Amino acid sequence: MLGVVGCVVPELLALRGVDLGEPVWWKVGASKLSSDLTLNWGGIEGFRIAGKQGIGLIAACQAVLMGGPEYARYVGIRSLEPVGVFLPGDQNYPGGGPFDPLNYAADADGFVDQAVKEIKNGRLAMLAMLGFFAQAAVTRKGPMQNVLDFVADPASDNIVTNITRLLQG
């Protein structure tokens, strides 16, 4: 769900004059790989993805950090107990104590309501990202620039005119 925020906030900061290197979400990876781009975030100089180690290290870290939790979810959290891995939560909703420090799950009805809200917010964020993908493919701009272009001239910069331009080549 934070991916949407991560796409919008850098572009907003760049529009306000903050130097981020490359603020448009779909251009950052290519810019980083094809140059020695330093991603400055919030005025902190020298922030570099994976310490300049490259995409291989990023992929390895992602595999390790997400592979374990996904494997535990796949085989079932309780099936890992015989090998000495004790994880909180259950197969359908992992988490437990470390992820609920304020004990919101104590109220069963409230917990179910919050779980449904979380799923709905996640689905809404996925739709927003789908919109960002489509906009990037059609307009070759970031989401905030698309909004600004639409607000400046809604009659000539909208979904119909952009699809027409795309189809005309």
Which residue positions form the known binding site? 62, 70, 80, 117-118, 121, 123, 135
Round to whole Å and give the CA distance between 121 and 102. 21
Neighbours of 58 (CB within 10 A): 14
Round to whole Å and give the CA distance between 94 and 140. 39
C-alpha to C-alpha distances, 149 to 63, 163, 167, nearest whole angstrom: 39, 15, 20
For the annotated binding site for chlorophyll a, the residues are 117-118, 121, 123, 135
Q: Would you list the DSSP string of 46-61? A: T--GGGGT-HHHHHHH
What is the phi/psi pair of residue 24, to 5°? -80, 125
One-letter amino acid of 1: M
One-letter amino acid of 33: L
For the annotated binding site for chlorophyll b, the residues are 62, 70, 80
Round to whole Å and give the CA distance between 108 and 117. 14
